[in-house]
Structure 1
Amino acid sequence: MSPGQIAALIAAGAFVLLVLFLAVTLVKLGRTLDEATVAIRKAHKNSDPLFLEANTTLTHVNTQLERVDGITANARAVSGNVSALTSLFTATLGGPLVKAAALSYGLSKAVRARRKAAVETPGKHSRRPGRRKGGRR
Structure 2
Amino acid sequence: MSAGQIAALIAAGAFVLLVLLLAIPLLKLGRTLDEATIAIRKAHENSDPILVGANETITHVNTQLERVDGITANAQAVSGNVSALSSVFTATLGGPLVKTAALSYGVSKAIRARRKAKGEVDGKHSRRRNRGSGRS
Q: TM-score range by the shorter chain?
A: 0.7 to 0.9
In the alignment, what sits opposite 1:98? Answer: 98
- What is the percent sequence identity of the aligned residues? 81
In the alignment, what sits opposite 2:49? Answer: 49
Q: Number of residues paired by the alignment?
A: 125
| Cα distance in structure 1, aligned partners of 2:21 and 2:54 | 48
| Cα distance in structure 1, aligned partners of 2:116 and 2:3 | 141
Quote how far apart the aligned CAs of 1:123 are: 7.2
Structure scoring higher RCO (CA < 8 A, sep ≥ 6) equals 1
Amino acid corresponding to residue 15 of structure 1 in structure 2: F
Amino acid corresponding to residue 96 of structure 1 in structure 2: P
Per the normalisation by structure 2, the TM-score is 0.84
Quote how far apart the aligned CAs of 1:114 are: 0.9
Amino acid corresponding to residue 58 of structure 2 in structure 1: L
Per the normalisation by structure 1, the TM-score is 0.83
Quote how far apart the aligned CAs of 1:25 are: 2.3
For residues 1-137 of structure 1, the aligned pairs below 5 Å read: 1-122=1-122
| Cα distance in structure 1, aligned partners of 2:6 and 2:119 | 143
Amino acid corresponding to residue 75 of structure 1 in structure 2: A
Q: Specify every segment of 5 or more residues in structure 2 that has no aligned partner in the other structure, as ranges.
A: 125-136
| Cα distance in structure 2, aligned partners of 1:106 and 1:4 | 132
Q: What CA deviation, in whole Å up to 9, does each residue of 1:115-137 have, x standing for no partner? A: 1112222178xxxxxxxxxxxxx
Higher helix share: 2
| Cα distance in structure 2, aligned partners of 1:52 and 1:120 | 93
Q: What CA deviation, in whole Å up to 9, does each residue of 1:44-65 have, x standing for no partner? A: 1211111111111111111111
| Cα distance in structure 1, aligned partners of 2:33 and 2:49 | 25
Quote how far apart the aligned CAs of 1:22 are: 2.7
Q: What CA deviation, in whole Å up to 9, does each residue of 1:15-58 have, x standing for no partner? A: 11122123222221221111111111211121111111111111
Amino acid corresponding to residue 94 of structure 1 in structure 2: G
Q: What CA deviation, in whole Å up to 9, does each residue of 1:53-98 have, x standing for no partner? A: 1111111111111111111111111111111111111111111111
